[in-house]
């Protein structure tokens, strides 16, 4: 019999069975099409138990990803002051998270997404759903351009994480946050609100 974790409720085997089924469902069918009922069936438990252990479907998704931050908390704060200065705020917040203890699971998650097609799929789905839920409704953005803008932001943020925290290329790896914010903030700002050369 597996040992109970002090912090989390429920039987750890059941929790793991639910998480395994949920990861498979989210990666295969996507967030919207994956149902708690189907996840519960595949894990051999009652749907009520899934809700009891993990809360909403979205909370279950976050638990699957072991994501280092809660987008429901971070994004509304970032976006509260509107699009002006968003690029700098985003880079500053990102650095604060990665420079904190949360940076350790973040590096692990990034490595996993890069080496495991299944985590990559989960990550794509996670980015897309979080974007639709928390970012787009708060920014006055042309919906036709939003997905490209979001993936451009992703290139810059993922690359920053990779070079600063994983490859640790100097001098960026030890540059003070404000140097990074001044250099990279304007890039992110342009990807969100500036001219990105769309000519279609």
Residue closer to a copy of itself (CB basis): 6 or 143 = 143
Residue 84 CB, nearest approach to a copy of itself (Å) = 17
CA distance 113 to 140: 30
- Per-residue b or e along 158-185, where b marks 16 or more CB atoms closer than 10 Å to that residue's CB: eebbbebbeeeeeebeeeeeeebbeebb
Neighbours of 30 (CB within 10 A): 14
Contact between 196 and a copy of itself by CB under 8 A: the answer reads: yes
Residue 103 CB, nearest approach to a copy of itself (Å) = 15
The residue count for binding a copy of itself (CB under 8 A) is 44
Structure tokens of 111?
């490595």
Structure tokens of 182?
């001044």
* Cβ atoms 90, 153 nearer than 8 A: yes
Considering only residues 92 to 151 of the shown chain, the ones binding a copy of itself according to CB under 8 A are 110-111, 113-115, 120, 123-124, 127, 147-148, 151
Contact between 72 and a copy of itself by CB under 8 A: the answer reads: no
Site pattern 5..24 for a copy of itself (x: CB under 8 A): --------------------
Contact between 170 and a copy of itself by CB under 8 A: the answer reads: yes
CA-nearest of 28, 157, 16, 184 to 98 is 157
Tell me which residues touch a copy of itself (CB under 8 A). 110-111, 113-115, 120, 123-124, 127, 147-148, 151-152, 154-160, 162-164, 166-173, 175, 179, 182-184, 186-187, 190-191, 196-199
């Amino acid at each position: 019999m597996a040992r109970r974790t002090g912090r989390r409720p429920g039987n750890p085997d059941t929790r793991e069975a639910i998480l395994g089924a949920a990861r498979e469902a989210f990666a295969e069918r996507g967030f919207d099409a994956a149902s708690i009922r189907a996840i519960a069936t595949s894990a051999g438990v009652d749907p009520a138990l899934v809700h009891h252990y993990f809360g909403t479907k979205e909370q279950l998704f976050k638990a699957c990803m072991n994501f280092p931050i809660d987008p429901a908390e971070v994004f509304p704060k970032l976006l509260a002051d509107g699009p002006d200065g968003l690029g700098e705020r985003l880079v500053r917040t990102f650095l604060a998270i990665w420079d904190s203890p949360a940076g350790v699971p973040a590096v692990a998650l990034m490595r996993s997404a890069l080496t495991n097609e299944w985590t990559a799929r989960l990550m794509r789905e996670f980015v897309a759903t979080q974007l639709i839920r928390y970012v787009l409704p708060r920014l006055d953005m042309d919906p036709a351009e939003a997905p490209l803008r979001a993936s451009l932001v992703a290139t810059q943020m993922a690359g920053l994480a990779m070079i600063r925290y994983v490859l640790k290329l100097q001098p960026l790896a030890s540059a003070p946050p404000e140097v990074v914010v001044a250099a990279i903030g304007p890039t992110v700002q342009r990807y969100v609100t500036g001219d990105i050369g769309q000519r279609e």
